[in-house]
Amino acid sequence: MSHGKPALAAVALFGAFLLSAAMPATAQDVRIGCSLVQQYSGPEVSAVLEQVRSTVGEGEANALHAKYVGLKNDCSSDLSASRVVRLSPAMHRLLTEYGVNVHRFAVLQR
């Protein structure tokens, strides 16, 4: 996978449900499953987070990376593992701009 706009799909770990065309005014929590870590490698996720760090902020980028690493570790022994991630309105906007469909990585709440 290239590290251009399509690579932003890796950030879908931290994506949110795009319930409508309108961007949410507040952060949203989304539960993401192992399908994301099966599709995107750590270096891909890191590269994309570096691209968006100036927009979403250091704190959100670091938190998203930590969630990815934790989920990847859990998925190595439990394919039903998941993590809840909080996405800012800025991250929602980036996902929409890049055409990322995060629905395929989200799982139902347990």
- pLDDT over threshold 90, residue 1: no
Distance of CA 6 to the CA centre of its chain: 13
Which amino acid is present at 19? Answer: L
pLDDT at 40: 83
Q: Dump pLDDT digits (tens) for 42-98.
A: 998 888 888 888 888 999 989 989 999 999 999 999 999 999 988 888 887 787 776
Q: Dump pLDDT digits (tens) for 12-49.
A: 544 433 333 345 568 888 888 998 888 888 998 888 88
Give CA–CA dist 10/42, Å, rounded.
Answer: 9
Distance of CA 107 to the CA centre of its chain: 13
pLDDT at 15: 47
31, 106 contact by CB (below 8 A): yes
Give CA–CA dist 70/52, Å, rounded.
Answer: 20
Q: Which two tokens stand for residue 102?
A: 């995060």
pLDDT category at 110 given cuts 50, 70, 90 is low
